[in-house]
Amino acid sequence: MGRNLFDLSGKIALVTGGSRGLGYEMVKAFAENGADVIIASRKLENCETVAEEARKLGVRAMPYQVHAGRWDEMSRMADHVYREWGRVDILVNNAGMSPHAFPEEITEQMFDSVVNLNFKGPFCLSAKVGKRMYDEGGGVIINVSSSGALMPLPHAAPYGAAKAALNAMTLSLAYHFAPQVRCNVLSAGAYLTDISKAWAPEKRETSNNALGRPGRPEEVVTAALYLASPNSSYSTGALITSDGGWYPNIPSAGRRPEGRE
């Protein structure tokens, strides 16, 4: 039998927004590959459910209730995790949200909520954990971003801007914490997570990307495992896309623009 390229045995992974969607898929994949996991989210009962799933796979798991957009809560979580578990080897800043509203409709409260969750919280946690990783000789930070940072949309301006800031921050931290800590971006496209239940039926079946469809949540797993594992040891400051070749102005796969055969 060939060796497991994504073996994470003995590693400790902390995933924000880890109780559902892409975060849940990453937590499950890390646990399946031997990592102990810390599941952080606003709803403790959801974190506990996922933690129990992970324990059944033979690893340690800890649920933690946190608002990932609040500086003080993220700082306290970092301190708590290090007191309880001693270290973090893999940090995934996955929690995020994107309310749809045009610029003139956005309130200050909405703006602050989006920027705090998608940028301020991840910055705080990355700084707190990254410094400890650096001092202790190694670690990996994965910041989950969005295609909306690369091609911003008019109905999600604060979200796209916050994710673009997250991308820039990742590169800064990659240089600051090098060579001990690797920091990379996993840039996700449209996925059929819980949020897709509110989409129109057509949007759940087709997408403006090269593959012509949204992603299945489990399809993010290999990119996450690559970035988390030692097999990406020469990748830092990188942006890895997992978006089906997304571009908002191309026709869906299988269709041809007018005037083309």
Q: Is the pLDDT of residue 151 over 50?
A: yes
Q: How far apart are CA 121 and CA 115, in angstroms?
A: 9
CA–CA distance, 19 with 50 (Å, rounded to integer): 6
Please determine, for residue 1, whether its predicted confidence score (pLDDT) is greater than 70: no
Cβ count near 150 (within 10 Å): 18
Name the 3-class secondary structure at 41: strand
Question: Tens of pLDDT along 169-216?
Answer: 999 999 999 999 999 999 998 888 766 566 577 777 788 888 999 889
Question: According to the model, what pLDDT value does residue 259 have?
Answer: 35
> What is the pLDDT at residue 257?
40
Laid out side by side, the sheet with 90-93 consists of 61-65, 36-41, 12-16, 90-93, 139-146, 181-188, 239-242
Please give the residue that has the higher pLDDT: either 254 or 210: 210
Q: What is the mean pLDDT of residues 73-82?
A: 98
> What pLDDT is stored for residue 60 in this prediction?
98
Q: Which of 98, 91, 74, 80 has the alpha carbon at shortest distance from 26?
A: 91
- Res 260: pLDDT: 34
Q: 41 has which bridge partners?
A: 65
Of 140, 216, 147, 224, nearest in space to 180 by CA = 140
Q: What is the CA radius of gyration of the chain?
A: 18
Secondary element (H or E) of residue 245 = none
Where does 46-191 show beta strands of DSSP type E? 61-65, 90-93, 139-146, 181-188
Q: What is the pLDDT of residue 3?
A: 78
Half-sphere exposure of 241 (CA within 13 A, CB side): 14
DSSP state at residue 209: B
Q: What is the mean pLDDT of residues 219-228?
A: 96
Choosing from 24, 82, 134, 159, the catalytic residue is 159
Domains and CATH numbers, the chain: 12-242 (3.40.50.720)
To the nearest whole percent, how much of the chain has pLDDT over 70? 91
Q: What mean pLDDT comes out for the span 224-231?
A: 96
Mean pLDDT value across residues 151-170: 93
107 sits in the region (left: phi over 0; alpha: psi -120 to 50; else beta) called: beta
Residue 190's pLDDT is: 85
Question: Contact, 118 vs 159, CB < 8 A?
Answer: yes
Q: What is the pLDDT of residue 195?
A: 65
Could you report the per-residue pLDDT of 205-223, keeping only the tens digit for each?
A: 788 888 999 889 899 999 9
Whether residue 159 lies in the annotated active site: yes
Residue-wise pLDDT for 17-45, tens only, equals 999 999 999 999 999 999 999 999 999 99
